[in-house]
Structure 1
Amino acid sequence: MRLLKYITKRILVMLLTLFVLVTILFFLFRVVPGDPVSMFIDSGLDRESQELLLKHYGLDKPIGQQYIIYIKNLLKGDFGNSFQYGKSALEVIAERFCNTMILMVTSLIIAFFIGITAGAALAWKRNTKFDMIGTIIALIVRCAPIFWTGMILLSIFAFKLKILPLGGMNTPGMRFDNLLEKYLNFDFLKHLILPAVTAALYSAATPLLVMRTSMLEVIKEDYIELARAKGLKEKRIMRKHAMRTALLPVVTIFAVQAGFAIGGSVLIETVFRWPGMGREIVLAVSFRDYPLAQTAFLLIGVMTALFNLIADILYAYLDPRVALD
């Protein structure tokens, strides 16, 4: 019951956060310098035609009225029409958003699996060469620019060894009847490996170092010594007793890492020519395409908020005392 109350409270906080985000996005794109009208309305059109286009996109109304209309439409699931494409902004961004999320979720799963496992192992073997070398490698990978790491992996596995594709999401010319067929095939998995591993290597250092630090604190606790005194095997003590407690700080940073991963997808998508949201966001901001830019950033915000909610629920599950607050 307490856990359910806690989850309900977190959902309400998430909805309030999203409302604030929607409001900020709406006004932010309208106060930046630049005139969106000149981007999509031909200057050769007569004044009457230009006014009709402005009316069609709702840009002839006061900004306060535009905001109210936008919120009402948003509640109906209407994200507005893109100025560039002349169709629903959600329709334009949906497939690209799906591509970005598949890439980023895959990379986060790999990153946290590597980070948690390696971090725990380094802490358990503290002050050894294994610990020192592992920590140095993690710091080097973290400090290296993500596009540089991507190009290194491309040069090795795509150019020299030629075992993985150079980029893209599918081999050119391939046709698919539905989304499941598009994503659930060996060709797609081959294209996914390099960008997902690149993003994972960059992101893994943070959970690794946090897990290592947390484990170093946990293994000093009395109950770890008690477990050893009972004659339990070291692997069992590490997995069943130490790692669960040490996971709490790692769960906390999961949501933050997810936000950075989604928001930082532009570089990865550029290096590997991955057809995600990165390119569309850049174009939308450049052309002052309000509906498209707002939809893209809102979807990123929604996913980040959901990751935060998942992190809060996991935290409450791992440490039931959290739900009592």
Structure 2
Amino acid sequence: MLGYILKRLLLMIPTLLGALTITFIVIQFVPGGPVEQLMAEARATQKGGDSDAYKAGRDSDARQIAELKKLYGFDKPAHVRYVEMLGQFARFDLGKSFLQNKDVWQLIKEKLPVSISLGLWTFFISYLVSIPLGVAKAVREGTRFDVVTTMAVLVGYAIPGFVLGVLLIVLFAGGTFFEWFPLRGLTSDNWEELAWPARIADYLWHLTLPLICLVIGSFAVMTMLTKNTFVEEMRKQYVLVARAKGLSQRRVLYKHIFRNALIPLVTGFPAAFIGAFFAGSVLIETLFSLDGLGLLAYESVVRRDYPVVLGSLYLFTLIGLVVKLISDLLYVVVDPRVQFGSVGK
């Protein structure tokens, strides 16, 4: 087991390097870098003023570009910047945003509350609904309940979250018909002035529509996985033996089948739990004006804020690799028959 863990930890290094290297190389060929972005904003500001200021700003473009390149390190060759970036990341220094003049760590911490709110609720609602529904479908396999619920979850899965979001806004957020839910933000402007019961109600009121968009598509995968694993276990020999001994259906289901059927779900728990925080939908966050990690990643790519792009990529890739290792190790915990040391022998 220890050898397997060490091997996986060592394999994380080339995986991280590969992801960072490919992204860094692609960035070198993307037009319109951060220097060009800042110059374009400066020109737009000067153009809004008097003509003399605009002319002076235009004449000093070359000098300003040279100063900005030196400030952000673009006066150095690409391979030097690449080595410096790796050195920073080795110290867990994610750098500083070009455009927001903040540490990437600070930006991520500022956006985490929104992503945690969306991720936690999405994760728990998906699991609390999908697992009981999947068990019920397995027990009633082939019945009308099974067919109807399968069609319902597949239709929900087929509808893109942002399309559903637009529809919900039009219907219930003041778009055309009703104005029952707020259109933006995680809380109201006067949230801190409210009593705690009112704060909780306001928070849930703002979350309702975004959560519907995020959750509705996640039911299908988890529900069908639960159903298929339970059906597979119910057809195994030990279940037939347990029933032949006169055990009730309920006792067979929850004492024998449940423990074995939950192995794929339990081992996927860490990845689903962490992924819910960092895999938020950019379109949903943009649609409902929720300033989370998804929107941060999108804006950093659009505005060519490379430290945020590469720092976020490094952090999320590292978290994903660690969580994947934990998920694999959980197989040994929940199923002692799995022995990584015996693989290949």
When normalised by structure 1's length, the TM-score is: 0.83
For the structure 1 residues 47 and 33, does the alpha-carbon distance in structure 2 shift closer, same or farther, using more than 3 Å as the test? closer
DSSP 3-state at the match of 1:140 = helix
Q: 1:236 to 1:198 in 2, by over 3 A?
A: farther
- Specify the structure having the higher radius of gyration (Cα): 2
Distance change >3 Å, CA 237–CA 91, structure 1 → 2: same
Matched, 1:37 2:35: yes
> Which of these residues, 157, 160, 171, is aligned with residue 188 of structure 2?
171
Q: Who is 1:68 aligned against?
A: 83
Instruction: Give the Å deviation of 1:222.
Output: 1.0
Q: Write the letter of the residue equivalent to 2:310.
A: Q
- The one of 302, 311, 315 aligned to 1:295: 311
Per-residue CA deviation, residues 124-143 of structure 1 (Å, 9 max, x unaligned), is: 11111111111111111000
Amino acid in the other structure paired with 1:18: L
* Partner of residue 59, structure 1: 74
| Residue 280 (structure 1) aligned with residue 296 (structure 2) | yes
Cα distance per residue 1:225-256 (max 9 Å; x no partner): 22223333323322332233223444566647
1:271 corresponds to 2:269 = no
SS of the residue aligned with 1:39?
A: helix
Residue 246 of structure 2 aligns to a residue whose secondary structure is coil
Q: CA deviation at 1:65?
A: 0.6
Q: Does 1:86 align with 2:101?
A: yes
Deviation at 1:22, TM superposition (A): 2.6
Secondary structure of the 1:320 match is coil
1:104 corresponds to:
119
TM-superposed CA distance for 1:218, in Å, is 1.1
- Structure 1, residues 105-159: CA drift from partner, whole Å, max 9, x if none? 4312321332222112101111111111111111110001112333455566656
Instruction: Say whether residues 1:220 and 2:235 are aligned partners.
Output: yes
- 1:116–1:208 CA contact under 8 A, matched in 2: yes
Q: Which residue number corresponds to residue 242 of structure 1?
A: 257
Give the one of 132, 155, 167 matched to 1:117. 132
Alpha-carbon deviation of 1:20?
2.8
Task: Give the SS at the match of 2:222.
Answer: helix
CA distance in 2, matches of 1:200, 1:303: 23
Distance 1:156 1:15, change over 3 A: farther
How much has 1:16 moved relative to structure 2?
4.4
Contact 2:118 2:277 in 1 (8 A): no
**Matching residue's letter, 1:300:** F
- In 1, are the aligned partners of 2:115 and 2:280 still within 8 Å (CA)? no
Aligned to 2:165: 150
Q: Match for 1:109: what amino acid?
A: F
What amino acid does structure 2 have at the position aligned with 1:275?
Answer: D
CA distance in 2: counterparts of 1:253 and 1:119, whole angstroms: 16
Q: In structure 1, how many angstroms separate the alpha carbons of the residues matched to 2:92 and 2:206? A: 33
Aligned AA (2:309): A
User: In the aligned structure 1, how far is the partner of 2:135 from the partner of 2:188?
Assistant: 39
* Counterpart for residue 204 of structure 1: 219
Provide closer, same or farther for how the CA distance between residues 266 and 131 of structure 1 changes in structure 2, counting only shifts above 3 A: same
Letter paired with 2:35: V
Q: Which amino acid aligns with 1:147?
A: F
Deviates more, 1:141-150 or 1:123-132: 141-150
**1:246-257 matched pairs, under 5 angstroms:** 246-250=261-265, 255=271
Q: Are 1:14 and 1:309, in contact at CA under 8 Å, matched by a contact in 2?
A: no
TM-aligned CA deviation for residue 265 of structure 1: 1.3
Q: Are the structure 2 counterparts of residues 102 and 297 from structure 1 closer, same or farther at C-alpha, using a change threshold of 3 Å?
A: farther
Structure-2 residue corresponding to 1:309: 325
Distance 1:105 1:13 in 2: 30
Q: Is the 8 A contact 1:108 1:258 kept in 2?
A: no
Q: Percent identity at matched positions?
A: 33
How far does residue 88 in structure 1 lie from its aligned partner after superposition? 1.8
Contact 2:35–2:68 (8 Å) recurs in 1: no
Which piece of structure 1 moves more, 96-105 or 57-66?
96-105
Which stretch of the first structure deviates more once superposed, 7-16 or 164-173? 7-16
**1:178-211 deviation digits (Å, cap 9, x = unpaired):** xxx9xx9553344334323431221121111122
Contact in 1 for aligned 2:95/2:103 (Cα 8 Å)? yes
Give the secondary-structure state (helix, strand or coil) at the position aligned to 2:338.
Answer: helix
Q: Give the aligned length.
A: 317
Inter-CA distance 219–170: structure 2 relative to 1 (3 Å threshold) = same
Aligned to 2:150: 135
